[in-house]
Chains A and B, each alone.
Chain A
């Protein structure tokens, strides 16, 4: 009887089980494999720095995935924003101003996506594809005028965002807490999930879909704008690949966290939080555990398939349902 209960508990909470299960598995697995080395003070500090960018973007993206938009522009927009911060910083040496400009640029790009999706009726993924190309194109063009790389003339201004993990922790804490509150305890989050599940029904229940999407895009934009600062601080300069592929990292991370990319009621902010930690730990732990480079991709692939396979099974009706 007890084991039956456990099985049905696992079945009903598969998302959470995958989310925390893979997290615990990775934590425990690596603490054994590395003989506790991943918990060394230095490595914990590194981990926090390594997960910061991904964490901030992922939290923002939950609002996008939650209402059913698969955004693939986040990496490119983050890259462009890093470039913007660098250019403004090199001109004005004013850190605050450059951050504000970065957030503004990011939010504007996201609002462009919102406009195209909400008013021109284009599929949201196409809009984000377009923005991805625009942002990537601008970065490539400006860099090609500058020997392929732009250095930050006053790296010391922005270096604390890399070296002082109190800043990383503070930024993550603010984003996580704001995300948890907004997504779980406000109208915005509830409308967002309803749209993800059933737009028609959401409309008939009084959801102003355009307005809700507006705010979701703004939140995503703000998060990407903030994350760009940390991305740049960790990069130290702007190269042509800056931010490339971050959108995929975000997706893998939230899937590891048990998120369904179609959004809806099962969307959880925890997916971004735990997923990001698991994802970062995985990359870090494999190296620290001394897995040979030749096998790392393979091992990562196997772990992803196992974990994602577990998550995806929830979408199919495994059990027969009465008609």
Chain B
């Protein structure tokens, strides 16, 4: 088996600089046919940059690449595709206004041109085939992309990538956006590609996922190649250690298993009903971490929005009891004045103002508590305290948030709510797209917040995270709560999944 694997792509001393910052430093890797190669490393370790150079999204600063032994210098992304290299990424890659079929064949419509007109039906038939080939049956090629959920759109991209018979298929941190179902489809697909003697490059933060699927794992740190590990040597602790270059202690999540909470009820949701929610009731107490589990479409995200006053409720009410004062939450304004903070799942589009500075972002959520006139000094002191408290890494507080790494961005969105004295924080997928090092900090922070008496609603698609952090987990299905699980050492993923499906 081992000898049969033929070299497809090789990089030699591949280097990428963004201005003066070295993102990838003299990395030489080999990607073989019939192999799934995993790339792992903290955010900023250079994983995405390497894949971007191979697929010609980024230019190469120095070093060489060889494809099938010949020198490979792709000029554009289309050029890379022509060379058999396709890639799907974390961000949205579909265009909302176009249909599924049009998205799949974007840039390649000329194949369907008959007498100067694009034959829409033929295109849709072909699109259907492309979708079926990766095992998707319930997406209509004629539907517009905007009508699909995020996951469905990702799967359309996968279908597109695979349709062109790639020699190398790159999956760049896509799985975080997918539900279990979507992941299954993707896993099946990459295994099939491997068996067809193609190559797959899988980039992910999810170590378990990589260990389950990859044949070889390459670990990167700060743009340098640390080591390449073959499957028989996979060992979680070893990989983690080589990623961060230091020992990660066992208490990655909370170390205690005490799920009891004696705090006062601080938020009460009663019979919430909206377009997606269906008779949801629960209490959230001071010092409690309440986890919300579910598949995408189960209403878990909408529940978070509802508590923050963003979702239009048809029935039911959300009440807070801050300092024994009872108030109903009907709008964001109510939520803010009753010390609720909300961290959206879509960090870049909703939680943060990317072009604005760190200072501006931190101050923004706190403005309603500030006087009408705000001096530079007030702002600076306020922002500096949060930056210090959360150890946000930045060149200055005037740096645009958009320039920060994923983890530091998330720290800023945490900081917004910690800074404005929120007592209740709703976190929707707080560790999405964040590397292990930052995750650890986040979990420590969440635990610290709990100790300080914050009430936390933790909405997450990562089962391990919920089990590891929550005092109690509510499992949602079809907009309703389908099950509850108390914190315990014995609680496993299977216990929760059974309520989800």
A92 to B18, CA, bound (A): 68
A129 close to chain B: CB less than 8 A: no
Report how far A18 CA is from B181 CA in the complex, Å.
52
Q: Whole-angstrom distance from the CB of B368 to the nearest CB of chain A?
A: 5
**Does the CB pair A323–B89 fall under 8 Å?**
yes
Contacts of A205 in B (CB 8 A): 364-365, 367, 416
- Alpha-carbon gap, A200 to B350, bound state (A): 5
- Beyond the given pairs A186-B374, A265-B360, A319-B18, 14 more chain A to chain B contacts, judged by CB atoms under 8 angstroms and listed by A's residue number, are A8-B19, A185-B373, A187-B367, A187-B370, A193-B360, A198-B349, A198-B355, A200-B350, A201-B353, A204-B310, A204-B351, A205-B364, A206-B364, A265-B357
Alpha-carbon gap, A206 to B310, bound state (A): 11
Q: Which of A198, A206, A264 has the most CB of B within 10 A?
A: A206
Residues B299-348 near A (CB distance < 8 A): 308, 310, 332-333, 335-336, 342, 344
Q: Which of B51-59, B188-196, B457-465 lies at the interface? A: B51-59
Interface residues of A in 139-165 (CB under 8 A from B): none
Smallest beta-carbon distance A186→chain B, Å: 6
Residue in B closest to A319 when the chains form the complex, CB atoms: B19
What residues of chain A lie closer than 8 Å to B367, measured between beta carbons? 187, 190-191, 205-207
Cβ of A203 < 8 Å from any Cβ of B?
Answer: yes
Residue B354 CB within 8 A of the other chain: yes
B333 contacts A265, CB within 8 Å?
A: no
Assess whether B372 is in contact with A204, with CB atoms less than 8 Å apart. Answer: no
Question: Which residues of A, 308-323, contact B by the 8 Å Cβ criterion?
Answer: 319-323
A234 at the A/B interface (Cβ < 8 Å)?
no
Query: Does A190 contact B364, Cβ atoms closer than 8 Å?
Result: yes
Some 13 contacts from A to B, beta carbons below 8 A apart, are A185-B376, A188-B372, A198-B349, A200-B350, A202-B364, A204-B351, A206-B333, A206-B367, A206-B368, A207-B364, A320-B18, A322-B48, A322-B49
Contact residues of B between 37 and 77, Cβ < 8 Å to A: 44, 48-49, 52, 57-59
Contact flags (1/0) for A285-323 with B, using CB distance below 8 Å?
000000000000000000000000000000000011111
The 3 closest A-B pairs by CB, nearest first: A265-B356, A206-B336, A205-B365
Choice from A188, A194, A206, A319 contacting B360 with Cβ under 8 Å: A194
Report how far A193 CA is from B335 CA in the complex, Å: 22
Interface size class of A (residues with CB under 8 A): 20 to 34
A187 touches B374 (CB 8 A): yes
CB nearest to B49 among chain A residues: A322
Tell me the minimal C-beta distance from A262 to chain B in angstroms.
Answer: 10
Distance, CA A187 to CA B367, complexed state (A): 6
B162 interface residue, CB < 8 Å from A? no
Please name all residues of chain A whose beta carbon is closer than 8 Å to the beta carbon of B18 when the two chains form the complex.
319-322
Which B residues touch A206, using CB under 8 A?
A: 332-333, 335-336, 364-365, 367-368
Using A185-B375, A193-B356, A204-B344 as known contacts, say yes or no to A265 and B350 having CB atoms under 8 A apart: no
Residues of A within 8 A of B310 (CB): 203-204
Taking CB as reference atom, which chain A residue is nearest B336?
Answer: A206
In the complex, whether B352 has a CB less than 8 A from a CB of chain A is: yes
Interface centre among A203, A207, A266, A323 (most CB of B within 10 A): A323
CB distance from B1 to the nearest CB of A (A): 34
Q: Which residue of A lies closest to B23 (CB)?
A: A322
B355 in complex: contacting residue of A208, A264, A321, A322, CB < 8 Å: A264
In whole angstroms, how far apart are the Cα atoms of A186 and B375 in the complex? 8
Nearest B residue (CB) for A190: B367
Q: Which of A200, A201, A264, A319 has the most CB of B within 10 A?
A: A201
Q: How far is the CA of A56 from the CA of B496 in the complex (A)?
A: 63
Smallest CB–CB gap between B437 and chain A, Å? 17
What is the 8 Å Cβ interface bit string for chain B, positions 388-420, against chain A (1 contact, 0 not)?
000000000000100000000000000010000
A200 to B349, Cβ gap below 8 A? yes
